[in-house]
Structure 1
Amino acid sequence: MSYIKLDLQYFSQEKTEKATDKKKQDTRKKGQVAKSTDVNTAFILLVVFLFLWMFGGTLGEKLFAVFTHTFQEYMLMELTEQSVPELFMELIYESVVVVLPILLVSMIAGIFSSYIQVGPLFAPEAIKMKLSKIDPIQGAKRIFSVRALVELVKSLLKIALVGTVVFTILWLNLDKVLVLSQKSIGDGFAQIATLAAIMGIAVALLLLVLAVPDYLYQRYDHAKQIKMSKQDVKDERKNMEGDPRIKGKRRQKQMEMAMQRMMQEVPNADVVITNPTHFAVALKYDGEKMAAPVIVAKGVDFVAQKIKGIAKDNNVITVENRPLARALYAQTEIGDVVPEDLFKAVAEVLAYVYRLKNKEV
């Protein structure tokens, strides 16, 4: 018996169930999402090299102007306590003009590539300092894990493919490379920049293609990591059902739905018996289908006023009978038939209603 108990306990703790919506939300708040860094890297590289392909000439001219200005003017300046800070600030400004557009493009590409993978997400808990992150035992487990093996295989594959792509591009442009020594510095620099941009775009496209299966694997691995055991699912359901806020919201929703259904029945009622200000009870009677009149709606105060308003809008007759309205409200629920001790009083009201309807006809 003890062995059977241990086996059952083992299977109840085995993580075989898909994560619930609540578990997914909780892990998302912690920053644990399915995300491929390869997608970010490839997309950033592609956007940056495309940017350099289109605007590299302008940036190159600015960079060339910085070098020209530096060697023609700054090298001849007298270095003093006043000139050094000014020189330093001018160099920083001119360097920022060249570098800042590339950094901005990289930042936008990185944000966009993350957004298309995980959507809008701000998880401060993911950057909190945790001692478990520097635990050597856990680190060793991560190094000698299936994930680490997959990452190694991916890296080797990427190195081989990237090397092949770069070699192919250089081989196809070998004649241009061999005549670089015969060109001017400007033309040679432009030729090298063009080749570098072509290789960068080609490598980025290759990495982007390789990132697609990696992203799919990350989603699979993430779903596997957050799987729950049957006991976890049961505990979560108990906690949710025991949460007063969730209970309150569920109860409020049920009351709203019941109120809506009740109000939808008022236009079909034969009569609404009122207090007249505090109570309202709507009755329906079909002699061919019902043995006795049925309560289709009832309410007190605000709900009573709403029932009377709907009855008025739908030409349902309202009859004032204080003792009968109170008795019906106290002794019956929605869907109940009229109690036997109130048959006579209700029959009189219905007879009065039918007489009015016949007169109207």
Structure 2
Amino acid sequence: MDLKTIKLIVNLQLFAEDKDAKTEKATPKRKQDARKKGQVFQSREITSALVLISVFLGFKALIANIYGELKILITKVFTQYIIIDEYLTPNGIWRLYIDILRSFAFIIGPIILISFAVGFVGSYSQVGFLLTTETLKVKLNRINPLQGLKRMFSPRGFTELLKAIIKIIIVGYITYVNLNNEATNILVLMKIDVKETGIYIIDTTIGIALNICIALAIFGIIDYGVQWWEYERNMRMTKQEIKEEYKQIEGNPEIKSRVKQKQRQMSMRRMIHEVPKADVIITNPTHVAVAMRYDVSLSDAPVVVAKGEGYIAMKIKEVARANNVEIVENKELARTIYKTVEIGEAIPPELYQAVAEILAFVYSLKNANVRGG
């Protein structure tokens, strides 16, 4: 094998690698298809931290109610349920069970509702409303032990392990620093009554927990950025994939129809926008309307700035009236210009005479109005 052949093979291999390289940003369609499959990016760390913050804040806000409910429950247990014989029957035990459930519902019910609401808002703010059955489908590779090991020792697995270690370090460090700062107060606890001790322990615990949650929320924001970067990297496409997607979209009759409709709407808006700048509207008078503009600095002959028939003709005349643009009826001329001259083009020489007469008439009307005004 000679040197030229080797170089050719190497160049072809490099070309193939470059062709298969995912260097292009994902298209909106690619992201939309991925979303339908449940492939979205979000940081569970943010949601978890927000839920924990809401739980501890809720606990702190409702501590008086929680204390009152527990006091009522404990008082009932020791003054009624244990002493009175009727509560030791199956029916009495059932009533005791209901009372305990009711008390716990009042104690933790509001906190659970708050945490659910915050969790929903945290998740919705990241991915929006997403309902898909793709993630519920049974995939055999999920129960394959070898695939499980691959996932464990994959880069993503190591990333999750690193995140877990960082969270443990955060929790441990903040707990240590806070307890170290409270060391003097903790030693004094033996000298104060039980109620004050309980209040101090609860306040200190909630304070430490909130500090931990705030740190985890900051960590979650960083994780969100990492998740976004990883998602964008995984969504990247090759140039060939973009070409194939474009062909697929172009071949879809529904999409083509939508694109054409959008183009027509944009074209009509641009055209209607030019009508107020016209010198005259020539009509036939009901079916066709042609807007003409003559500016010596732009063109040697009058130019068609808008034209249409049916609804569009009616719209042109409506805008013309609103902007005091003269409307002149000339059936034959209107039809001829409509059929032979495109928007943005100047009229052909054979129509100069007819259009000049109309423009002269329009200018004379304008001059008369000026003198009359």
CA shift, 1:59, in A, is 1.1
Corresponding residue number in structure 2 for 1:302: 311
**Structure 1 residues 115, 288: closer, same or farther in 2, change over 3 A?**
closer
Seen in structure 2, the aligned counterparts of structure 1 residues 167 and 234 have a Cα distance that, compared at 3 Å, is: same
The letter for the 2-side match of 1:167 is Y
Residue equivalent to 2:128: 120
List aligned pairs for 1:76-155, cutoff 5 A: 76=83, 77-78=85-86, 79-116=88-125, 118=126, 120-125=128-133, 127-131=135-139, 132-155=141-164
With over 3 angstroms needed to count, the CA separation of the structure-2 counterparts of 1:92 and 1:307, relative to structure 1, is same
The unaligned stretches of length 5 or more in structure 2 are: 1-7
- 1:18 matched residue in structure 2: 25
Secondary structure of the structure 2 residue equivalent to 1:15: coil
Q: TM-score, normalised by structure 1?
A: 0.84
Equivalence for 2:66: 59
Amino acid at match of 2:227: Q
Distance 1:87 1:284, change over 3 A: same
When structure 1 is superposed on structure 2, of 63-72 and 257-266 the one drifting more is 257-266
Aligned residues between the structures: 360
Quote the Cα distance in structure 2 between the aligned partners of 1:355 and 1:177: 100
Shift of 1:93: 0.9
Dislocated runs of 4+, deviation >6 Å? none
Q: How far is the alpha carbon of 1:100 from its aligned partner? A: 0.8
d(CA) in 2 for partners of 1:17, 1:289: 43
- CA drift of 1:32 comes to 2.7
Contact 1:30 1:123 in 2 (8 A): no
SS in 2 for 1:16: coil
- Counterpart residue number, 2:266: 257
Structure 1 residues 55 and 356, CA, compared in 2 at 3 Å: closer, same or farther?
closer
State the identity %.
38
Q: Which of 310, 316, 320 is equivalent to 1:311?
A: 320
What displacement does 1:39 show?
1.9
CA shift for structure 1 position 147:
1.9
Q: Does 1:205 align with 2:214?
A: yes
- The verdict on how the C-alpha distance between 1:319 and 1:213 changes in structure 2, with shifts beyond 3 A counting, is closer
Distance of 1:268 and 1:165 partners within structure 2: 70
List per-residue Cα deviations over 1:122-160 (Å, max 9, x = no partner). 233364233154344432222011122122223223323
Could you tell me how far apart the structure 1 residues matched to 2:162 and 2:368 are?
91
User: What is the CA–CA distance in structure 2 between the aligned matches of 1:174 and 1:347, rounded to whole Å?
Assistant: 99
Secondary structure of the residue aligned to 2:75 is helix
1:207-222 pair list within 5 angstroms? 207-222=216-231
Match of 1:45 among 45, 52, 59: 52
Residues 42, 127 of structure 2: 8 Å contact kept: no
Distance apart, 1:19 and its partner CA: 2.0
Q: Does residue 182 of structure 2 align to residue 173 of structure 1?
A: yes
Deviates more, 1:188-197 or 1:274-283: 188-197
The answer as to 2:337 corresponding to 1:325 is no
Cα distance between partner residues in 1 of 2:364 and 2:68 = 99
CA distance in 1, matches of 2:361, 2:192: 111
Give the 3 Å change call, closer, same or farther, for CA 291–39 of structure 1 in structure 2. Answer: closer
Per-residue Cα deviation, 1:176-228 (whole angstroms, up to 9, x for no partner): 54565676554544343333223322322332333333222222222222222
1:27-81 Cα distance to aligned partner (Å, 9 max, x none): 3344333322222222222232233334324312322321221232112343434
